[in-house]
Amino acid sequence: SQTIHQWPATLVQPVGSPLSLECTVEGTSNPNLYWYRQAAGRGLQLLFYSVGIGQISSEVPQNLSASRPQDRQFILSSKKLLLSDSGFYLCAWSGRLGDTQYFGPGTRLTVL
């Protein structure tokens, strides 16, 4: 069966520091991968998605970037964090575009 991992689970970073969040998927190949951000108790906003290695599409302009160095690895990064980058970050995968998406456990990021 497929599993999706995210780390770290929680992170507290100062403003202006760099960021690297990692997501990996097991049990499937060539997944579509997604990064979402969620405000407290609310719906999710899609940040990036990837259909293959090195292929990244950005949904909203922001202080963040994404990379996919391996088939089942998706990384969310920032060179300098802003207070507004605080939130709950979720990674998801699907078999094909338009298929059901399955979510990881999430990373709680607090920027102070």
Per-residue binder mask for another protein (CB under 8 A), 45-74, x = binder: xx--x-------x-x---------------
Which is nearer to another protein, 28 or 102 (by Cβ)? Answer: 102
Which residue bears the tokens 């338009």?
Answer: 98
Amino acid letter for position 74: F
Q: Please, what is the minimum distance in Å from the beta carbon of residue 96 to another protein?
A: 8
Number of H helices, E strands in the chain: 0, 11
Q: Sign of the CA dihedral 37, 59, 53, 51?
A: positive
Structure tokens of 67? 């990379």
Q: Please, what is the minimum distance in Å from the beta carbon of residue 74 to another protein?
A: 14
Tally the C-alpha atoms within 13 A of residue 30's C-alpha that lie toward its C-beta. 2
- With CB under 8 A as the contact rule, the residue among 2, 16, 70, 99 that binds another protein is 99
Q: Please, what is the minimum distance in Å from the beta carbon of residue 59 to another protein?
A: 7
Per-residue binder mask for another protein (CB under 8 A), 17-36, x = binder: ---------------x-x--
Residues in CB range of 98: below 8 A, 6 or more apart: none
Binding site for another protein (CB under 8 A): 6, 32, 34, 41-46, 49, 57, 59, 88, 90, 92, 94, 96-106, 108
